[in-house]
Amino acid sequence: MAVKTDRGEPSEKSPSGRLPIFFWSALSETKEEFVSIKDGEVGMYDCGPTVYNYVHIGNLRSYVFADTLRRLLEWNGYRVKQVINITDVGHLTSDADIGADKLEEGARRENKSVKDIVAMYTQAFFDDIESINIPREKIIFPKATEHINEQIALIEKLFENGHAYKISDGVYFDISTFLDYGRLGGVKQTLEKNADTNSRIEVNPEKHHPSDFALWKFSKPEDRREQEWPSPWGVGFPGWHIECSAMSMKYLGETFDIHTGGIDHIPIHHNNEIAQSEAATGKPFVHFWLHNAFVSLISGEKMAKSSENFIRLRELIERGINPLAFRYWLLTAHYRSQIEFSFEALEAAENAYKKLVRSIALINLKNSEESESKEYSERPFEDKFKAQFAKIINNDLNTPESIAFIWQILKSSNESGANVLSGIAQIDEVLGLGLMANAELLVKNIAAVPEDIKKKAEKREAARKINDWTTADLLRKEVENAGFIIEDSAEGPILMPN
């Protein structure tokens, strides 16, 4: 298990030569130093989308969080194996194991086959994550329906170990056989207190305990399910929780380093994953549980697929917001703090992001005009910088402070352009904002501004020099209407595409 410390912030190098990393652990509810199971390697599983609808920007927060986490670990020298599951069966509309399968329901709603909606929404999910710099090729995306045998094998193990029982509508996990049930998020303490409430909403009197959960559900003939499989207990489909245990252990081993998801998964889904995995293997399932807080609406309400109150990334793009400005917006909040959505907030992020890219492009321009010897940053700066940045980002993935750090570096007048650029490039590696790439693109575009626009800007500058503000303003407007802006810098005005 991880070494527990109460320092809560990175200090010296660990014996492996790596800088220490601290994460808030949902298991211990303290900040702990991260120690990987295998030196230099990390296995990470992130609960993925249920593909019965488009993902919304709240869901995307959990993948940006996981992606930034992987980047942080890579920046610290770890090799990361990352898995995000695709739920294409068995996620029911109610956490109490009743209600319809969201996938079957989605197919009916759209008058399509389950296969078709799975293909369509999985592709839409991939398109979304690619546009926010989450590299698909670095991640394994297993589908639940392609791992039915693994799920059945796990349930068989639970039967062997005396943790499962069969009733008329399916196979269930008996939580009374797992002493530590509800360890995550203090659910254990509230379970007994809530037994009364649970039993009031409970509709299946055959269950031994209200919180027992389905491992396998039998198909009912009237449901006319498209997706069902034979099993030793009857034809049906797996429960939602078992897929995450089966697939995470298949790809990452029986005990692995990090498991993430949104905070809504703590009370039920993740406690169930722990119970069924540990009951089957007798080993600790996961060392570090990390959860992102919600994207909420101004009313405080959670953005949710099921309540149709959600905003898609596409809507932001249609409003002229760069997907990476959306990522920037997400990272201005710490992952454990709720963030409130509004178009105004996104527009402000768009402006800040643009400004950042422009500032970097200006340094780039200036730097390339300076002498060759200044092209590369100096070693002492790199070491000092790395230590400074690690103190920020290795402290439970502090992205808001990292963004503030970028602005601070940009303002620091005593560093060379090359040093500033190398510092920002390192931060950008972790934040994944595409700052350097976009700044380079902007530099190219600056060089390609059409001659007539350049002429207008020169005329405007001449008018300014003789205090002819009316003409200067008029020309500036014309330049802007053509899609360009004039950025005033220490080296004089610079013309660039807006």
Q: Which stretch binds ligand AMP (CB under 6 A): 118-126, 290-298, 311-319, 483-491?
A: 290-298
CB 197 to Zn ion: min, Å: 24
Q: Which stretch binds ligand AMP (CB under 6 A): 12-20, 107-115, 288-296, 400-408?
A: 288-296
244 binds, among Zn ion, ligand AMP, none (CB under 5 to 8 A by kind): Zn ion
DSSP 185-213: GGHHHHHHHHHHHHHHH---TTSSSTT-E
- Residue 97: burial class (beta carbons within 10 Å; 0-12, 13-18, 19+): buried
In the list 18, 19, 32, 62, the residue contacting ligand AMP (rule: CB under 6 A) is: 62
62 binds, among Zn ion, ligand AMP, none (CB under 5 to 8 A by kind): ligand AMP
Q: Give the 3-state secondary structure of residue 111.
A: coil
CB 397 within 8 A of CB 69: yes
In the list 20, 238, 262, 267, the residue contacting ligand AMP (rule: CB under 6 A) is: 262
When the beta carbons of 264 and 396 are compared against ligand AMP, the nearer one is 264
Side-chain-facing half-sphere of 48: CA atoms under 13 Å: 28
The dihedrals phi and psi of 18, each to the nearest 5 degrees, come to -90, 155
CB 118 to ligand AMP: min, Å: 13
259 binds ligand AMP (CB under 6 A): no
Two tokens at 154? Answer: 């796990």
Q: Report the C-alpha gap between 373 and 352 in whole angstroms.
A: 32
119 binds, among Zn ion, ligand AMP, none (CB under 5 to 8 A by kind): none
270 binds ligand AMP (CB under 6 A): no
Instruction: Give strand pairing partners of 489.
Output: 492
Per-residue burial over 343-374, b if 16 or more Cβ lie within 10 Å, else e, is: eeebbebbebbbebbbbbbbbbbebeeeeeee
305 binds ligand AMP (CB under 6 A): yes
47 binds Zn ion (CB under 5 A): yes
Helix 240-252 to helix 148-160 angle (10° resolution) is 100
When the beta carbons of 244 and 496 are compared against Zn ion, the nearer one is 244
When the beta carbons of 50 and 68 are compared against ligand AMP, the nearer one is 50
295 binds ligand AMP (CB under 6 A): yes
User: Distances in Å between the alpha carbon of 38 and those of 79, 231, 255, 493?
Assistant: 10, 36, 11, 54
294 binds, among ligand AMP, Zn ion, none (CB under 5 to 8 A by kind): ligand AMP
When the beta carbons of 217 and 259 are compared against Zn ion, the nearer one is 259
Q: Report the C-alpha gap between 160 and 154 in whole angstroms.
A: 10
Binding site for ligand AMP (CB under 6 A): 47, 49-50, 58-59, 61-62, 261-262, 264-265, 292, 294-295, 302-305
Binding site for Zn ion (CB under 5 A): 47, 244
